[in-house]
Structure 1
Amino acid sequence: MEDRNTAMIVLLLLCVTAEMQVDGLSLDVCASCHPKATCDDKSDGSGKVCNCKYGFVGNGRTYCQDKDECQIGASKICGLHTDCHNTQGSYFCTCRSGFTPSNNMDVFTPNDGTHCQDIDECTVTGVCGEGGQCRNLEGSFDCSCILGYEVQNGAEPFHPHRDKASCKVVDCGRPEAAEDTVLLSVSGTTYGSAAMFVCEEGFVWRRGNNRSVCEADGLWRGGNMSCEEVNCGPPPAAPHSLRLWDQSSRPGSRAIYQCNSGYHNVGKGNVSKCNAAGEWERPPLLCKDIDECTVTGLCGEGGQCRNLEGSFDCRCILGYEVQNGAEPFHPHRDTASCKVVDCGRPEAAEDTVLLSVSGTTYGSVAMFVCEEGFVWRRGNNRSVCEADGLWRGGNMSCEEVNCGTPPSRPSLSQAVGPELQAGLQGDLSV
């Protein structure tokens, strides 16, 4: 029995010595570390291990490659309104146009609390030019014209650095004298200028105002004086119509009326006569608005017509968006039209792949599944193309399949028993 125990002890000592020799070879593991790795002590104190340096990923020995921190998205790693720039072993952040870092540095990393804040461009005097009024926006600004100025080479609001538009003072041009009147004086032609009128020779001022002012819409307004001969005078105006007249106010003279564009005559005629009593007959025409929206397809595919007084305009229905212009638009005057909303090809979230998609336009549906090696844990795997041109609804989250920690082997004390544990530990420490 004693010989058998002695043989088992010798066998165990040989096994321990073999393990020490193998472990002795592991002392050279630091020489095999990759240049981008460090040689560190194992957490359990059993030896050394090669770990890739910060900013690199790999096995620490055969390869350590740069970790692209920016791939998770600039807003996640750098914050809102930023761009992320990957470097070898690290990264840095910059603010997008219209924003400035809170630490006033061109580049930064967000670990010190730095964030991008809006620049108020409107604090710069004259940023919108003469007659321009600045409005600060999140990350930008735009301009509009103050009273007495109008936009040129574009539309409001506009951006002076991006658009050709600017503000110019309203110019009404030289005022035109009304029928049977002449211009007496004018202080100018721009906004706020005033013009004075008098009746032509042989006419007398009967009613109205002889002073006209250049208004913000570029028109002379307020001057409505009326001069008359000792006869019928000028024929009366009719709403929404053009008057044709040979300037004669003698009895028997005729005035012809034509409805303006967008109106048609539903009255009993279009001629007014100067009678013997020196008065014009009431114009018999009645100009009524034409409802252009009764014409099918007037606004094109996806367009919805809205009738206006003497005209009409168009807007896009749900699922369509305006192109080459803005709403509302006029298909005969503008280049704008409606096109169906297109969300483009849907992008798969992290660890997912696109299973199917019915299309890319409004109402289309895309289905996603997890990549191989991942399982669906939460969220919705169905995304829909919405009216704003974005895919919405798909928020599925996939997690990598993980079997957990492998089972451990028996400890040395369990293998040899408590009698030999102290002696073996002494030999191992040597």
Structure 2
Amino acid sequence: MNLAAPALIFCALLLQEAAASLRASCSGELCCFQSPADFEAAERNCKETNGKLIQSDEQMDALKRLARTLTGRFWLRGGTNCTAVSVGAGPGVSVGPEPCRSTLDGFLCLFDSSSVCGAFQSSGGTSVTYRTVTGFDVLESETFPPGTVALVGRPGAQYPDSKHLCSSTWLPSPWFCEVFQGGCDHGCNKTSNTCTCPLGRSLHPNNISCTEPTAAVPPAQTQRCPRGYKPAADGRRCEDVDECAEAPDLCAGEGEQCVNLDGRYECRCAGDFVEEDGGCVNTSICLLCEHMKCDKVGGVYRCGCKEGFRVSPKNPTECEQDCSQGACPATCASNPAPDKKDMQQCFCPQGFILDLGDSPTCHDIDECDSQALCDHECVNLPGGFKCACRKGYQLQDTEKCVRLQQGGEEEEEEESASGSPLDLASTPVSLQPAAFPSYVKTGSVLGIIVFLVLCAVLLACVVKQAFRRCMSLELNSLKHPNIDIFYLQQVTTETYKRLSFDKQCRNEPQRD
């Protein structure tokens, strides 16, 4: 019996049931997500939506407003223990401890007030449905968390009127292709951030849907059409002219795209561009900013960071601790592990080493002192270093110094043995990773092991040689036949008198 079909049906039913249970509602910057989860899953899901679990004493007014439409037990962020809140069972709400591995009805997330959106204002008999980035349907909500998609459409219509993304304000689709495929129903062009359709289908005026192919009609008598229209294939009616397809350069401004309308066209800002001061400005980076701060500098939006942090040189959307001096305080957080709840986890920026001591501190690593990194000179910097070359040389590949060419021939100037002055202003600066390379640690350990082995072998040889010499040692002086061996014996006073008397008696006959 083939069990594949029943298994697929069973999985489909489970997915439908799970999808039906993924609901959310918000009041202000507080949102309740109704989905069974333990504490670890709840905390992870909050972070995925740029939120955090609330403390037991935070947002109680908003929580009481949500309690009017909620029933169940939901996770909070406690201190040393996991905490949950019960709503809908009796008057008010009740907060208490809960085992971290328990599975509750959902969790409460708190978002930055500047990142949530109000309800989308629709018109013309349209309705709006909302869904979060993690698949929660947002119902009976006053506000909406960042990343929520609003779909605007008319009841019974085949295609929606528009689609919008919450990023402190509602951005129309198509937005940049990296997020939900730009909101496109079929495909998204990452170069122009516009929706694409398969062969035989055309883009709908909503700019996100692809219309169904229509059957060809035999040609008939043609007729005259007004401006912006042309005779259809049957010759009995007029159809819209797609000016954007016939003249791709109609909208050639920065960030502009051509939108075909009924009998006409418009130039609009494409995807992640918005209209400001009569032009289109790219705002896509603002959706990715780690600290949700974005500033317009010189007509271009750039990510910003909170006080004490700076934009990472490796990723313009991420923030790292600003430790511009030789030492700075470490970033510490409580250890989430139950058996280490009284301990802290402290971190330092790259290129710094942690010193726990009385106050956890990050100290700069002097890369120039630990290894040879540059051809000429190495200059230590907070969190990194830079290579510099002597006059007459140019920095290449961040660490090599190459002699400058003059008139097709190499300069005659030679390096000074003591080191000539550095031309820091004319040579590019290279920031290298501050962490020690793995081969340095491996070579040090290998050298220590080899040294210890050699010492052990040398010691064994010395012991073996000494043992051999001791075994072959003979006391020849003690074996001589003419040597008398005397033994010492302890005697008392009486014994000494008796020995003296005996000696005197033996000597008396000799006198006669």
| Structure 1 and Structure 2 fold alike (TM over 0.5) | no
Tell me the TM-score normalised to structure 1 length: 0.25
Structure that is richer in strand per residue: 1
Name which structure has the greater RCO, CA cutoff 8 Å, separation 6+: 2
Structure that is richer in helix per residue: 2
